[in-house]
């Protein structure tokens, strides 16, 4: 029998992405997104296994060990990528669970592919996990896995964590085969969410759709007790602090500031290029401040880093076109030769470069229309060992519940974004420190290790 593991994480993506170069050569790079940022230190720390996809269509490469983790690839065909990943996961569930800020699409073949790919993930986890071991399933792409896995391996402890918001009851009710998704999640012993309201929505739905009788944080199902609770996710604070203390990173931050124009104040946005992130609203607010003369290209500059994401999905291509048009318009209208009001970077960065940007930024601007947590907000705070800098943060990011001294903003209201940007730019060093200190304390006390420990303890992992 092949080797088995006490602790197995199952997520759509592996922590590394297979990259195919122009010459057809293959290499590995860090995968995009907050899920990977958060889970990698945990799996490494437990010496666990990770079941996931490589990011490329085709047969799965052989399992391999890297960085203290055992990676077990699951293959997705072109059709699977099309229907399960881009379709049901990112064309149906992702928009619906983010308040339907884009219209969700419902297609039967997508649902069928979602089910068959979920089964493949469950089978891989069932083979890889030791007797009485623990499996932790992650995120909206794999909501049927807990029940499928339980059927195959009733001996396991099974946890599930949803990294994105769980929608209000009325929105969830729109999903075709909605009861099946609930049953899928109820296969877990513990279902974790970012916010308490999400757990309540889920429990309420078990009553409404399955006729169960949920109590505060529990529901009896199929002779078992399933617990549903909030576990707000966090970051590897030590990693960010170490980079922020590195003299090379600090020198890079100074160099960036200098190159962007000496004493121009720096506004920073760092997001996957996703329609949930409110990038257009942010640019609109900034453009209006330039247009009405409240700020000038001589005094401020906005750096917007947009990580390429899901670029084969039409909504993402359209978003890219709109954002790039907006950037071009603002730079065309308000720029000068050699001095642009927006620096737009459509690319991935390494961790050191990101932290250098955090250190360089006077104002971090995070305006999602809806976001499960938003780890960038926590990374910015963790990097600011100097207690300086200001955070403009959407009320609709999960992080807003913890980072209460940020300049909070309603991202649907462009006037409100303008107000928050100006308040942040006008905050003196004393106010910046007063706001930053409690946020730093919160993030340092609640880092990713504590999050995982809280979850795994509640799951009863020994
Ligand atoms: P999401 O999971 O929706 O992408 P989060 O803010 O929770 O949003 O997490 C994003 C993660 O990706 C963070 O850890 C952040 O540092 C990282 N990240 C964001 N932009 C880039 C980039 N351009 N290059 C590399 N990493 C990035
Ligand atoms: C968010 C999701 C993750 C996802 C990541 C990147 O963080 O919660 O599940 O992995 O975005 O998206 P992608 O589609 O590239 O995996």
Mind listing the pLDDT tens digit for each residue in 46-58? 889 999 999 999 9
User: Does the Cβ of 375 fall within 6 Å of ligand 1?
Assistant: yes
Q: So what's the pLDDT on residue 378?
A: 98
Q: Closest residue (by CA) to atom 15 of ligand 1?
A: 376
Which of the two residues, 262 and 396, has the higher pLDDT score? 396
Structure tokens at 125: 């986890």
Taking all residues of the chain, what is their mean pLDDT, rounded to a whole number? 96
Q: Helices (H), strands (E): how many in the chain? A: 17, 17
d(CA 440, CA 385): 8
Q: So what's the pLDDT on residue 148?
A: 98
Catalytic residues: 163, 371
Which residue of 9, 11, 12, 13 sits with most ligand 2 atoms within 8 Å of its CB, as the best mutation to test the pocket? Answer: 13
CB 156 within 8 A of CB 132: yes
User: Does the Cβ of 341 fall within 6 Å of ligand 2?
Assistant: no
- What's the gap in Å between 163 CA and the centre of ligand 2? 9
- What's the gap in Å between 374 CA and the centre of ligand 1? 8
Residue 6: CB atoms within 10 Å: 16
Instruction: Identify which ligand lies nearest to the alpha carbon of 373.
Output: 1
Q: Closest residue (by CA) to atom 11 of ligand 2?
A: 33
Residue 4: CB atoms within 10 Å: 13
Instruction: Identify which ligand lies nearest to the alpha carbon of 346.
Output: 1
pTM above 0.75, yes or no: yes
Range of weakest confidence among 36-40, 172-176, 375-379: 36-40
d(CA 393, CA 374): 10
- What's the gap in Å between 207 CA and the centre of ligand 1? 36
Please provide the DSSP assignment of 83-115 as one string. IIIIIIIIIIIHHHHTTTSS-----HHHHHHHH
Atom of ligand 2 nearest to the CA of 140: 9
User: Does the Cβ of 305 fall within 6 Å of ligand 1?
Assistant: yes
Atom of ligand 2 nearest to the CA of 34: 7
Mean local confidence (pLDDT), 372-397: 98
- What's the gap in Å between 113 CA and the centre of ligand 2? 19
Mean local confidence (pLDDT), 263-287: 97
């Amino acid at each position: 029998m092949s080797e088995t593991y006490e602790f197995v994480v199952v997520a759509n993506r592996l922590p590394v992405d297979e990259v195919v170069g122009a010459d057809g050569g293959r290499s590995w790079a860090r995968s995009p997104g907050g899920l990977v940022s958060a889970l990698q230190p945990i799996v490494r720390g437990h010496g666990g296994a990770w079941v996931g996809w490589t990011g490329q269509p085709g047969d799965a490469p052989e399992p391999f060990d890297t960085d203290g983790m055992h990676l077990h690839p699951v293959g997705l065909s072109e059709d699977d990528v099309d229907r399960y990943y881009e379709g049901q996961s990112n064309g149906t569930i992702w928009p619906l669970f983010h308040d339907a800020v884009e219209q969700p699409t419902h297609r039967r073949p997508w649902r069928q592919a979602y089910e068959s790919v979920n089964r493949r993930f469950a089978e891989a986890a069932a083979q890889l996990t030791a007797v009485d071991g623990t499996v932790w399933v992650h995120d909206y792409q794999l909501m049927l896995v807990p029940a499928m896995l339980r059927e195959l391996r009733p001996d396991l402890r099974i946890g599930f964590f949803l990294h994105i918001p769980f929608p209000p009851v009325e929105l969830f009710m729109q999903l075709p085969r909605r009861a099946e998704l609930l049953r899928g999640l109820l296969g877990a012993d513990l279902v974790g969410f970012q916010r308490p309201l999400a757990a309540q929505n889920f429990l309420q739905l078990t009553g409404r759709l399955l006729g169960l009788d949920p109590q505060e944080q529990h529901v009896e199902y199929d002779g078992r007790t399933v617990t549903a609770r909030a576990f707000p996710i966090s970051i590897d604070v030590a990693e960010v602090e170490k980079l922020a203390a590195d003299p090379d990173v600090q020198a890079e931050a100074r160099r960036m500031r200098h190159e962007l124009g000496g004493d121009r104040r720096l506004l920073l946005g760092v997001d996957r290029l996703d329609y949930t992130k409110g990038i257009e609203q942010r640019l609109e607010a900034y453009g209006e401040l330039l247009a009405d003369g409240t700020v000038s290209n001589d005094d401020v500059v906005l750096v917007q880093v947009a990580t390429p994401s899901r670029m084969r999905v039409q909504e993402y291509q359209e978003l890219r076109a709109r954002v790039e048009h907006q950037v071009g318009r603002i730079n065309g209208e308000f720029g000068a030769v050699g001095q642009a009001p927006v620096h737009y970077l459509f690319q991935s960065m390494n961790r050191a470069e990101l932290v250098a940007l955090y250190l360089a930024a006077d104002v971090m601007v995070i305006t999602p229309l809806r976001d499960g947590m938003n780890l960038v907000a926590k990374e910015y705070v963790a990097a600011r060992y100097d207690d300086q800098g200001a955070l403009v943060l959407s009320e609709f990011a999960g992080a807003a519940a913890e980072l209460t001294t940020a300049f909070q903003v309603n991202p649907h209201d462009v006037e409100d974004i303008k107000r928050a940007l100006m308040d942040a730019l006008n905050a003196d060093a004393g106010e910046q420190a007063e706001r930053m200190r409690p946020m730093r304390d919160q993030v340092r006390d609640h880092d990713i290790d504590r999050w995982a420990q809280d979850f795994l303890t509640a799951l009863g992992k020994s």
